Amino acid sequence: MNTFIEKQNWRYATKKFDASKKISAEDLDFLKEAIRLSSSSYGLQPYKVLIVENPELRAKIQPAAWGQSQIVEASHLVIFANITDVNETTIDQYFQNISKTRNIPHENLSGFADFMKSKILPLSSETKNIWTSKQTYLAMGNLLNAAAEKQIDVTPMEGFIPEQVNEILGLDELGLNATLIATIGYRHHEDDTQHYKKVRKSKEELFITL
């Protein structure tokens, strides 16, 4: 069987982490790089990724995450927070990065920059917020796949109260909104769910060929 598929069958949403096991600095850097290289619309990456190691902060977040034990037991807590109002400055900074990275004169990029601004800036704040929220899911996908390659466990979470997490971490003041949480670390041997068969739709039920 293909190694990638084997690792996908190995991974699951871990319910109980071994709090005594920590992710090495090298492996954490690997996961960060996988997140950094994730695809996003226009390549804009309209989000920030918070790595929460502080145990006191994680204890404060746990009640806002429905009391889930993974928040405090996992090696690290990752919070994906979308930029709530992408503006002209956000786009200008992106094109400055393109110009520097690819050694392209900024004026040569003005056409594409103007096109992006014409599509993004007229959107309502609500629509932009929804759009940037969706981008964090792409980054989460890369984290899940990269972690599986290293046999590092990840539990992706939507089960939390964003407003409370935002308040605890001061995200509102930064123009950010918590959209996804991931706990990363190593499964505890007492977590029975690691032995459950993976339940997915069959190929015949899932795919439609036109």
What global pTM score does this model have? 0.95
DSSP string for 78-145: EEEEEESS--HHHHHHHHHHHHHHHT--GGGGHHHHHHHHHHHTTS-HHHHHHHHHHHHHHHHHHHHH
Q: How do residues 119-176 score in pLDDT, each as one tens digit?
A: 999 999 999 999 999 999 999 999 999 999 999 999 999 999 999 999 999 999 999 9
Q: Tell me what the mean pLDDT of segment 174-190 comes to.
A: 98
Q: Report strand pairing: 47-52 vs 76-83.
A: antiparallel
Q: How do residues 34-92 score in pLDDT, each as one tens digit?
A: 999 999 999 999 999 999 999 999 999 999 999 999 999 999 999 999 999 999 999 99
Q: Tell me what the mean pLDDT of segment 7-17 comes to.
A: 97
| pLDDT above 70: residue 1 | no
**What pLDDT score does 2 carry?**
77
